[in-house]
Amino acid sequence: MPTAVALSPLPALSLSAAQTLIEATAILAFAASGLLEAARKKLDIIGVCTVVALAAFGGGTLRDILLDRRPLFWVEHSSWLWILLGLSLLSMLFLRGRHFKPTERAIQWPDALGLGLFTAGGTQLALTAGTPVIVAVVMGMITAVFGGVLRDIVCNEIPSAFRDHRPYAVCSFAGGWCVVAADHFGVVDWLGLAAGAAVAFALRAMALACDLRLPTWRGD
């Protein structure tokens, strides 16, 4: 009798390939948020390239330094430097105010997408490195939040993660625990990454759509 072959209901995708895909998509999302912020501030080409690079690579670079992970992502994949340089140059050459009006509202959506993707990727990388689960979740938050923090600081703004009072790092925290839970229960690697990214993004989108607010410091 012919031997039955078990077919997996989910397509195979290695963990490294899933992590690379997540990182690449997150870089583009945060680069877009950096580009919009630089355009809103009317920066020159050096300013645009700097803000785009900080938004795209800042959180991941800090994570890799803390995890003592070498080479850094943008050093290992140096083609991303050319991609972001080209994106910055083309945007300044061809995009005008009539094409898009960069506002804080426009920045929020690519920023929310990058938040979810970087959360999942950063948490999984830390788990792979053997860190305790709480450290892995914090590393996911650092990856997701600090690119936007650096972007806003360079643009002379109080980071939006700290000032708009709508859940941001909290959404990343929840998404990170989703990745940890998926890893603990042996869920397919790429599916756990996708679930963590979706949870963080969905929570941030809900906070923006419903104008949910965190408690703020109250004086006398």
Domain range for 152: 15-210
Q: Look at residue 161 and tell me if it is in a domain.
A: yes
Instruction: Please report the pLDDT score of residue 123 as a whole number.
Output: 94
Domain presence at residue 8: no
Domain membership flag for residue 106: yes
Q: Domain count for the chain, please give it.
A: 1
Check if the beta carbon of residue 117 is closer than 8 Å to that of residue 33.
no
Residue 92 near residue 45, CB atoms below 8 Å? yes
Q: What is the mean pLDDT of each run of 10 residues along the chain (220 residues)?
A: 43 64 83 86 90 92 91 88 91 67 71 89 92 95 92 89 85 95 88 92 91 73
What six digits make up the tokens of 147?
């690119």
Answer yes or no: is 51 within a domain. yes
Does this model's pTM top 0.75? My answer is yes
Nearest CA to 200 out of 27, 21, 18, 26 is that of 26
